[in-house]
A and B are shown apart, each in its own frame.
Chain A
């Protein structure tokens, strides 16, 4: 596709359930990022992929959060045993260059809004 695609766009789940959020980056973009956007908190870094490896996963808030990327393309962010404080918009972005050489922009998806009841 032309842009970064995320699904689902909206997800409502019950506390304690697991959720999976998907990101399909722009074709050819080797770097992929997950951020969380909460009201009044700005963008919180979660994890960065370069290819299929994650050199920086320091932003994952707990061991309930995990992410993987396969084939250097699609990435899935999984939240296990969701809690109400996990409610946020989860943003995915991709870029052509790795973060160490970043001279261009990140291209963001429209996000997945997660609501945990």
Chain B
């Protein structure tokens, strides 16, 4: 079965700082990759996704992520964070888990706090 690792539990940045949140997965086959965000008091929502093609994908609110297949990574980046980016970020992987079944596996999340 696949697994997803998010290396940072809590990241604290000042406004305008650059952001990179790490995500690594373990699975040898074809994967689809996602980043979800959960703003305080709100439900999870999709930030961006990768299925195929250009490994650099752009999402909402200026976020982007790069799929590096050789490193099994899908790191999330933003050049300049804002206070409104304070949220918890979840990386997720969809892959075939065997016996005709697919699974969507989430990482444990990274809490981002942006200080004004």
Contacts and interface: CB of A to CB of B under 8 A. Distances in A.
Interface of A: 3-4, 33, 35, 40-43, 45, 48, 55-56, 91, 93, 99-100, 102-103, 105-106, 108-111
A111 B49 contact: no
Given A108-B43, A110-B42, 5 more contacts: A35-B106, A40-B9, A42-B108, A106-B44, A108-B44
B66 to A, nearest CB: 19
Contacts of A109: 43
B25 to A, nearest CB: 13
A54 to B, nearest CB: 11
Contacts of B45: 105, 108
Contact of A102 (B97, B104, B105): B104
Interface in B23-66: 32, 34, 36, 42-46, 49, 51
Interface residues of B, number: 27
Contact of B100 (A33, A48, A55, A102): A55
A55 B43 contact: no
Interface of B: 6, 9, 32, 34, 36, 42-46, 49, 51, 90, 92, 94, 96-97, 100-109
Nearest to A4: B43
A105 B101 contact: no
Contacts of B108: 40-42
B65 to A, nearest CB: 14
Contact of B105 (A45, A93, A103): A45
Contact of B34 (A41, A48, A100, A105): A105
A21 to B, nearest CB: 15
Contacts of A55: 100-101
A42 B102 contact: no
Contact of A110 (B32, B43, B105): B43
Nearest to B42: A110
A91 B85 CA distance: 22
A42 B107 contact: yes
Nearest to A102: B94
Contacts of B106: 35, 42-43, 45
